[in-house]
Amino acid sequence: MSLPVSLCLSLSLSLPVSLSPCLSLSLFSLSLSLSLPVSLSPCLSLSLKSKGFSRLLSGSSAGNYMNAGSRNAQSYGFDLGSLCKLKDTKSADQKSTLLHFLAAVCEEEFPEVTKFSDDLQHVDRASRVSAESLEKNLVQMERQLVQLERDLDTFSSPDDSEDLFTAKIFSTSAREQYQKLMIMHSNMGTLYQNMLDYFALDSKKTSVEELFTDLSNFRTMFLTNVIAFIYVNDFIIETLKFGE
């Protein structure tokens, strides 16, 4: 006599020596791809290699050095976060800012500099990633892997052909992915330290998120001013043509 489907399901679930490890394995295997940390290395690398951004910073540093006679005379550099403050330095008539001037000069005289925005196009997404959360995710993944390997040793039955709890392949693959992520995380830390040294920043005062947030905000403001300059310039040209 055949049993009802519901009873067969109950009997099937009661057969494993421990259902909890099976469910934990399934949950871990499904969530592994979702919990992989985002690598910030490409953003760090591009920020360091951007020729346009390097030239922009060189010009700003030269401007600081030439700022003799003011209270900031003989300044040989500036904090990277102060780039966003360029919009607060206004002209005598209060109609434009230092950022307007910088964007206009770059667009008109040094268009290759404005291409730095392409090199830094990923900084917005990178600014939303917490380095602390990445590290916690890696620690959590290590714990889950260790528990998975223990469960496999305890509850799997290699000699039982009907044993469905055979996840050795997944365990090996997950361990390999974890090792790759650890290498990526280590490389990210090295690149971040190199970037801090390059921009003369203090790691105790500037986090990864703060660094990328400043870069993202400046990139957005700079592009906005470049677009505004192009629009106004085109409008003036068309007006002059119409007047002729």
What is the C-alpha to C-alpha distance for residues 32 and 30, in angstroms, rounded to an integer? 6
Token readout for 76 is 């040989």
For position 218, what pLDDT does the model report?
Answer: 92
Residues 35, 40, 41, 46, CA torsion sign:
positive
**Does residue 81 sit in helix, strand or coil?**
helix
Is the distance from CB of 146 to CB of 174 less than 8 angstroms? Answer: no
For position 85, what pLDDT does the model report?
Answer: 85
Residue 86, C-beta contacts closer than 8 angstroms, at least 6 positions apart: 97, 98, 99, 102
What is the C-alpha to C-alpha distance for residues 140 and 132, in angstroms, rounded to an integer? 12
Q: Which amino acid is at 27?
A: L
167-200 exposure pattern, b = at least 16 Cβ within 10 A, e = fewer = beeebeebeeebeebeebbeebbebbeebbeebe
What pTM value is reported for the model?
A: 0.68
Across the strands, what pairs with 186? none
For position 29, what pLDDT does the model report?
Answer: 53
Give the pLDDT of the chain (244 residues) as one tens digit per residue. 465 666 555 545 554 444 455 555 555 554 555 444 455 677 777 777 888 888 888 877 766 655 555 565 555 566 777 888 888 888 888 888 888 988 999 999 998 999 898 888 888 888 887 878 878 878 888 888 888 778 777 766 655 555 555 556 667 777 887 888 888 888 888 888 888 888 878 888 888 888 889 999 999 999 999 988 888 877 777 777 766 5
Where are the domains positioned within the chain? 38-58+97-157+184-244
CATH of domain 38-58+97-157+184-244: 1.20.58.2220
Is the distance from CB of 98 to CB of 200 less than 8 angstroms? Answer: no
For position 43, what pLDDT does the model report?
Answer: 73
What is the C-alpha to C-alpha distance for residues 240 and 63, in angstroms, rounded to an integer? 34
